[in-house]
A and B are shown apart, each in its own frame.
Chain A
Amino acid sequence: MVEIRSPSVRRGWSESVRARASEIVKQYPEPRSAVMPLLYLAMAEEGYLTDNGMREVAGAVGLTPAQVRAVASFYTMYKRENPGRYLISCCTSISCMLLGSDEVLRAIEDESDVTAGETDPAELISVEHVECIGACGGAPAVTVNYELIEGMTTEKARELVRWLRTARPEAIVGAECQELFGGRRSFDWGAFDRDSALGPYPAFGPLGTVSGPAGDQEG
């Protein structure tokens, strides 16, 4: 996908985001340690990691933008191209492969018409294959915006894609997705929390990413 960025567009972070960034920096003995959480913050601000976002991170921790880019490029979860609203990550590592993950991935690609590594033209759905996501007891497993669904089948994978297309949920609630599309789990999840992901990055409020409505819990 070709990314078009106009050099004239330089929207800086708002005061409140900068304040949040300095709160995060204060959690560490040395500012540089805040680079990773701030990269998530930058993604949450603009949907993905832009040059602008990396410049803001650099400014917040006292590095050059090039140094920040060098860090960001090491980690697969910092997306430097705009992903769709829903990022479907299909595990195809050993345990998932043994139980049919390659077929699940093919079903997702076929139903969404998106090849792994790409995004649909409407920027709604991105598909990727990923290495082990620690859900081997509930293989095959996928995540949507990093919210886990275990015990997938090809049929459920197709239903998931159709549901994302038609229902277009505002937020991805892991527990809800597991109930709708999942099967066998790696372990008893216990109480389902209702945290939700509002973007294609992990939903973890305290580190600066978007957090969902505070956890209503079901017994």
Chain B
Amino acid sequence: MSVRSIVTDRMTRHPSDSHTLDRYLGTGGYRALAKALEMPPDEVTGEVKAANLRGRGGAGFPCGVKWSFLAPAKPAYVVVNGDESEPGTFKDRQLMERDPHQMLEGTIITSYANGANHAFIYIRGEYPRSARRVQQAVEEAYAAGYLGSDILGSGYNLEVTVHLGAGAYICGEETGLLNSLEGRRGEPRLKPPYYPAAKGLYMQPTIVNNVETLANIPWIIENGGEAFAAIGPDGSRGTRLFSISGHVRRPGNYELVMGLTWRELIYDVAGGIPEDRALKCWIPGGASAPWFVPDDHLDLPVTLDDTAKAGSMLGSGAVVIMDETTCTVRATERLVRFFAHESCGQCTPCREGCSWLERILRRIEEGSGREVDVDMLLDISDNISPGLAWPPRMTTICPLGPSAVSPILAITSYFKDELMAHIHQGGCPFD
């Protein structure tokens, strides 16, 4: 297992002031920007393509390829997705609070590569400290000439606006985010035709990238795409931040080279389970991801492709560990409640389905469940995501509704006995 840090290096070595411009400049900051501004924009994109950097927000789409899809119309915009809200995920908060200039430098380089003269940083409303730190970094960057007109004498201009969300998970979905940024309800848009690269913010070509993705850009430009592509296994290049939480001795964010096994991640990196209790299951990539269980998955390599092949995803990098004391019905209810609460309400299968699932799970947990409820859970899930396949098929504009199906599939395939015990005993056996 090799641990190598790219995006957390500065904050690890300089914990007290890694967020300041002085420290950033003292540790090589904004050198990559100077280098990028001397390259033609498509060469910058070429480096990011060569790096094979895949998006860190959830979908894992290759970043350089995304950039090359940008339609030529002007103006074009760059939008930073700092609306981190997938349950279990807290990595972007650390990147924004502890090293805001790194993410900002990545944003400026990205804007230059894509010919954008205005970038927006959308930060979830519940992260005021992140917003203050990023705003402070933006102000410092303006004062030092890294933002504004004629950046570093290159003739390139860029304005940056920091925008605060107001409590809506769905705004992390890129088209919902764009609607929100336009001052609308954060309802996702239909794709096609509203692919952001063609019809994004104000119907103009727009790049939307996650905070962690952008935080990797300065390193890639400074060291070259090939150097980045030399780290980690094929298809999962570079490092990745894992937010580990739940029943582990050492929860936290860990920047890791992918390719280690889940066993190593849970027991070596996160220190195993308190009091050496047994591992029951874990969520490998945020609330939307189907669960893994020890018998089938503990020795699988942690890579995007191996995780996808096993029927789940690394998603946002959130790993939630549940030990033997966990009531999986309660855990499922809590996850489904999240999706029911966060459904934007546009599509009937999600709006109605998620809240039905939530109500059924609650009555099972509270002891009023019936055997037919198990079939009903699956039937409703099948209406939200036909065939109950992975990746999920959709009856909805965005993947939020189908995400609620993931925990339902987990509990009905791995923990059906627990569901039945609730129903037969008329209550939660863990209470």
Inter-chain contacts of B184 with A (CB < 8 A): 32, 35, 71
Given known pairs A28-B161, A33-B182, A136-B251, the reply for A190 and B19 (CB within 8 Å) is yes
Is B191 an interface residue, CB under 8 A from the partner?
no
Is B165 an interface residue, CB under 8 A from the partner?
yes
Selected contact of B166 from candidates A39, A188, A189, A190, CB within 8 Å: A39
Given known pairs A37-B163, A131-B87, A136-B243, the reply for A77 and B125 (CB within 8 Å) is yes
A136/B202 in contact, CB under 8 A: no
Is A34 an interface residue, CB under 8 A from the partner?
yes
A5-59 with Cβ < 8 A to chain B: 27-30, 32-37, 39-40
Given known pairs A61-B183, A186-B252, the reply for A136 and B245 (CB within 8 Å) is yes
Inter-chain contacts of A195 with B (CB < 8 A): 128-129, 132
B135/A134 in contact, CB under 8 A: no
The tally of residues in A whose CB lies under 8 Å from a CB in B reads: 62
B132-159 Cβ-contact flags toward A at 8 Å (1 or 0): 1101100000000000000000000000
Given known pairs A131-B342, A136-B87, the reply for A186 and B126 (CB within 8 Å) is no
A-binding segment of B27-35, B88-96, B351-359, B416-424: B88-96
Report how far A134 CA is from B168 CA in the complex, Å.
Answer: 13
B16/A98 in contact, CB under 8 A: no
B94/A146 in contact, CB under 8 A: no
Is A147 an interface residue, CB under 8 A from the partner?
yes
A74/B168 in contact, CB under 8 A: yes
Report how far A75 CA is from B92 CA in the complex, Å.
Answer: 21
B-binding segment of A87-95, A106-114, A118-126: A87-95
Selected contact of B131 from candidates A28, A75, A202, CB within 8 Å: A202
Inter-chain contacts of A71 with B (CB < 8 A): 183-185
Q: Closest residue of chain A to B86, judged by CB?
A: A132
Selected contact of B322 from candidates A98, A138, A205, A219, CB within 8 Å: A98
Report how far A205 CA is from B318 CA in the complex, Å.
Answer: 31
A36/B165 in contact, CB under 8 A: yes
Selected contact of B90 from candidates A134, A184, A205, A219, CB within 8 Å: A134
Inter-chain contacts of B132 with A (CB < 8 A): 193, 195, 203-205, 211, 215
Q: Closest residue of chain A to B161, judged by CB?
A: A27
Q: Closest residue of chain B to A34, judged by CB?
A: B183
Given known pairs A78-B166, A137-B252, A191-B17, the reply for A36 and B87 (CB within 8 Å) is no
Given known pairs A94-B88, A136-B245, the reply for A187 and B334 (CB within 8 Å) is no
B319-348 Cβ-contact flags toward A at 8 Å (1 or 0): 010100010001100110010011010000
Q: Nearest chain A CB to B395's CB is how many angstroms away?
A: 22
Is A97 an interface residue, CB under 8 A from the partner?
yes
The tally of residues in B whose CB lies under 8 Å from a CB in A reads: 71
A40/B186 in contact, CB under 8 A: no
Report how far A74 CA is from B167 CA in the complex, Å.
Answer: 9
B168/A94 in contact, CB under 8 A: no
Given known pairs A187-B94, A187-B98, A207-B162, the reply for A92 and B168 (CB within 8 Å) is no
A40/B185 in contact, CB under 8 A: no
Q: Closest residue of chain B to A211, judged by CB?
A: B132
Inter-chain contacts of B246 with A (CB < 8 A): 94-95, 98-99, 136, 139
Is A171 an interface residue, CB under 8 A from the partner?
no
Inter-chain contacts of B252 with A (CB < 8 A): 137, 186-187
B334/A92 in contact, CB under 8 A: yes
Selected contact of A95 from candidates B88, B93, B97, CB within 8 Å: B88
B38-85 with Cβ < 8 A to chain A: 75, 84-85
B128/A147 in contact, CB under 8 A: yes
Report how far A143 CA is from B167 CA in the complex, Å.
Answer: 13
Is B124 an interface residue, CB under 8 A from the partner?
yes
A36/B11 in contact, CB under 8 A: no
Inter-chain contacts of A137 with B (CB < 8 A): 90, 243-245, 251-253
Is B263 an interface residue, CB under 8 A from the partner?
no
Is B198 an interface residue, CB under 8 A from the partner?
no
Inter-chain contacts of B131 with A (CB < 8 A): 202, 204, 207
Selected contact of A135 from candidates B90, B162, B163, B180, CB within 8 Å: B90
Is B169 an interface residue, CB under 8 A from the partner?
yes
Is B240 an interface residue, CB under 8 A from the partner?
no
Which among A138, A202, A203 has the greatest number of chain B C-beta atoms within 10 A?
A202
Selected contact of A133 from candidates B126, B165, B182, B202, CB within 8 Å: B126
B335/A94 in contact, CB under 8 A: yes
Report how far A139 CA is from B251 CA in the complex, Å.
Answer: 9
Nearest first, the 4 closest Cβ-Cβ pairs linking A and B are A35-B183, A75-B166, A136-B245, A76-B167
Sampled A-B contacts (11; CB under 8 Å): A30-B202, A39-B166, A75-B165, A75-B167, A94-B87, A136-B245, A137-B244, A143-B126, A187-B94, A205-B132, A205-B135
User: Which residues of B pack against A, CB within 8 Å?
Assistant: 11, 15-19, 75, 84-90, 92-94, 97-98, 118, 124-129, 131-133, 135-136, 161-169, 180-187, 202, 243-247, 251-253, 283, 287, 318, 320, 322, 326, 330-331, 334-335, 338, 341-342, 344
User: Which residues of A pack against B, CB within 8 Å?
Assistant: 27-30, 32-37, 39-40, 61, 63, 70-71, 74-78, 92-95, 97-99, 130-139, 143, 146-148, 174, 184, 186-191, 193, 195, 197, 202-207, 211, 215, 219
